[in-house]
Structure 1
Amino acid sequence: MPQLNPFPHDGDGGLGPSASAKGWHQGYIAAVSSPSELPRTPLVRSGEFMDAFRTGAAAGRADGLAEGWRWRYFGEDARTGEDTGQGPQPARSPVEPVDAGEDGPAGPAYPLAWRCVGAAALRVVLEQFAPGSDPEFPGLRLDRVCADKGVGRLYLPVRLLPRDPPAEPAGDPLADQGFWHGTAADSLTDAAAEGPDGPDAPETRAPTFLGLVRYRPAGEHDFWDLLPAGGRMPATHG
């Protein structure tokens, strides 16, 4: 059972979450995707943030050791892999079989899923599925929206091979990093049917559609799975 943020997610008086809540959350995400050692604490003006970051990092490392590490595909480390045509290489990213019979007998076949963590993809899903929602702690917001709407899974079609980011950011957490994405759906079949096309489609030797972000309610955590749908995916290590 993943450890939970001990600091309140919603601040008093409409001021948003506290620096401690943000620090713990960021520390947890950084550590649960870092098998080697605890991440370095960022130098910021808020001592509360730094103290909470260390505490969150310790919790994330403990959960990674106990339950398996999670891969941060979309994020500042998304372009660190060698240019092999496969995208970045995950370090000991756990691979799990996709649920049998997901989305019914006519659903697409996805034999494997990479366990991932990170806010960028979930912010896109949240904005599409619940426009106007607070983007802080998107996993928590999505968990609540899914409960309200009776939805058990959400899917976002993505282009897994990054291209150069746009010269002027447009406020899209994935597109601003150079990734194509489609429209969030609660049906695996509907999401898998969508693919990038038109003049702005990224050039690649791989098939037109390459993967899905799958979100399953996970409480406050920004957990999701990456379902590869075609082309060559990076091999796991460890």
Structure 2
Amino acid sequence: MPEMDHFTYGMLTPLVGYIASFIGCLTGLSATSRARAATSAGAKSAWLLVGAVAIGGTGVWVMHFIAMLGFSVEGMPINYDVPLTIASALLAMAVVAAGLFLVGFLGDKLLYLLIGGLFVGLGVASMHYLGMAAMEMSGEIHYDPVLVGVSLVIAVVAGTAALWLCVHVKGWLLASVAALVMAAAVAGMHYTGMAAMHMSGAAGTPPGGTSALELLGPLIAGIFLTTVAMVFVVLMWPTEDEMRERQAFEERVAGTTSR
């Protein structure tokens, strides 16, 4: 059985991946807090989409593939299938968007949270295993069904908790603590899924695909830089409380004017 190394560069890739996930989750939580204070469906939708890109794109997908840069198999260079890799990124953002729109517009009733959490969790887990399926190498990948099941449970619980946090968390301090927890859950799901994997086959060159640095480098950089741009938008925008205060003020002014 070929020897696998999940930490080829030591703790560099897990640490960088966790930091990226934290930034994505914190940005997403900040965006969804603005969505709660939005007065129109269009504004709410825009903020929820920002949250989905930040959480699904950077919080989940970027973390996954930064971690994958530290994964290696002895004698088996790894390439990636381009369409599957891109599809995994789109899937991560789409399922998070679906969950956020569900609780964002319908509320945080238990039924909606459970349905949304199940959908987001299974979607994020699908993103993980789709990303793994995108690997091109001479060997074959096999999975331990028990650990796969554990990773699915972690993903669903984390997805449900993330939706609850997106509905309730207010303020930078609580949002930062929540983002730390969310990033830890994403990392936990990822490495549990990786622990479920083992390889078979002979050493050799990949049958196709694009090298990790040529494909993942630009994709990771592009999504992360998009999130950084969204960070500046969130920082410059009024907070949820400030938005509500402004709305209350405008309502008072409108009421005074109408008399």
TM-score where L is the length of structure 1: 0.29
Q: Which protein shows a greater Rg? A: 2
The higher-RCO structure (CA 8 Å, 6+ apart) is: 2
Structure 2-normalised TM-score?
0.27
